[in-house]
Amino acid sequence: MSKDEMNISVTRGVVQSIKKNIRSYTMIIALLVIWGILGIMTQGTFFMPRNMSMLVRQTSVTGILSLGMLLVIVTGNIDLSAGSTMGLLGGIAAVCQVWYNMSVATTILVVVLAGIVLGIWQGIWIAYLRVPAFIVTLGGYLAFRGILLGIGKSVTIAPMSNAFKNIGQGYLPLSIGWILVAATCLFTIFAIFRDRSAKRRYGFTVPHIGISILKCLGIIAVIVTFVAVLSDYQGIPIPVVILLCLGAIVAFVTTKTRFGRSIYAIGCNQEAADLAGINTKRIVFIVYILEGIFCGLAGIILTARLNAGAAGAGNMAEMDAIAACVIGGASLSGGLGTIPGAIIGALVMCSLDNGMSLMNTENFWQYIVKGLILIIAVFVDIVTKKKAGK
């Protein structure tokens, strides 16, 4: 193949890749546009290493909450109680730390077990008693907030132990951070070319080798730039590492396991999933348990980051999580959504909060802008699906 033919082949491959993943690229472009606007409006303050570090720490809470929410949405359900659940479980963490002087490990265990209990409670009503998820989780939204107010006596519970605070406020040593970067880059190269090899082995069409190389270089460039900026402040925040690890685990489960494929099958067509032998009730039940666990982990990080358990913690956080999933490409009708998309969606929502706070924008404008972004995201999703169906 001549050099010109190779260039034409690579160009065609890039165009086809963009068309195939138009929603993903649209989402990334939208994020870059939002960052560009916020950078201009804040005269560059938005891109300062300290602010970027703060932004990704904020994103970690919404991102973890979005992981559980995505699983729920993919099954065709919803969870309006996620913010209240996170606030309640974060409050329980504060009580364990401040009132009972529990160790960090014991506190985490108590919170995770409490999250499982709340997930079981909602899962039974939704999966086995067939009460609509909207009603059950709306009830949870009110009840869990009330329990939080009752447990905490409507006061702020603080301070946490230094070890616990480190979960939400700590940073990885720079040397360890760069070691993880190198390992992540190597794994990225391995994963991309292993996937390419697997597709060829099973007779699927694979893109030109140049496309795979460009993909590797692009991902590596983003990772290195991201870590370099954070290293100019104090390094990679521990909550970000937790989010990425959880995201990798959930991404593996949803794409490489029977359980994960069953979640998508239920969202696409529950009756067909039943006929295919999938225990849809059990899957939905487990998904709500996982949602409870993710709410607990998000609550732990939020409480550690704020160094306090507050009565208003997690207020309206479920709306940010739902918006993050939808912005990231999830369909509220079920069967569609990705973990990277949810995390990027969370980054979009937190970027808006962060940037408008830097501009001293009044709160009501923040709600208006985020609402409009959500509507636009759903509209783009509808338009994309119509074009794909043609």
Q: What pLDDT, on the 0 to 100 scale, is given for residue 387?
A: 63
Query: Is the peptide bond prior to 159 cis by the omega test (within 30 degrees of 0)?
Result: yes
- Domain membership flag for residue 115: yes
- Domain membership flag for residue 33: no
Q: What pLDDT, on the 0 to 100 scale, is given for residue 62?
A: 95
Q: How far is the C-alpha of 178 from the C-alpha of 172, rounded, in Å?
A: 10
Alpha-carbon distance values, 165 to 97, 160, 259, 301 (Å) = 10, 6, 35, 8
Q: How far is the C-alpha of 250 from the C-alpha of 338, rounded, in Å?
A: 10
CATH of residue 108: 1.10.3470
Residue 274 shares a structural domain with residue 382:
yes
Residue 265 shares a structural domain with residue 385:
yes
Least confident stretch, 39-43, 203-207, 286-290, 360-364: 203-207
Number of domains forming the structure of the chain: 2
pTM for the whole thing? 0.90
Residue 138 shares a structural domain with residue 211:
no
Which one-letter amino acid corresponds to residue 173? Answer: P
Residue 187 shares a structural domain with residue 162:
no
Residue 329 shares a structural domain with residue 266:
yes
Least confident stretch, 44-48, 59-63, 360-364: 360-364
Q: Residue 309 has what DSSP assignment?
A: B
Which one-letter amino acid corresponds to residue 284? Answer: V
Residue 134 shares a structural domain with residue 194:
no
Task: Give the residue numbers spanning the domain of 202.
Answer: 172-236
Phi/psi of residue 119, nearest 5 degrees: -65, -40
Q: What pLDDT, on the 0 to 100 scale, is given for residue 31?
A: 85
Residue 207 shares a structural domain with residue 269:
no
Which one-letter amino acid corresponds to residue 97? Answer: Q
Q: What is the mean pLDDT of the chain?
A: 87
Average of per-residue pLDDT across 321-340: 89
Residue 75 shares a structural domain with residue 162:
yes
Average of per-residue pLDDT across 191-198: 83
Sign, CA torsion 100/104/109/115: positive
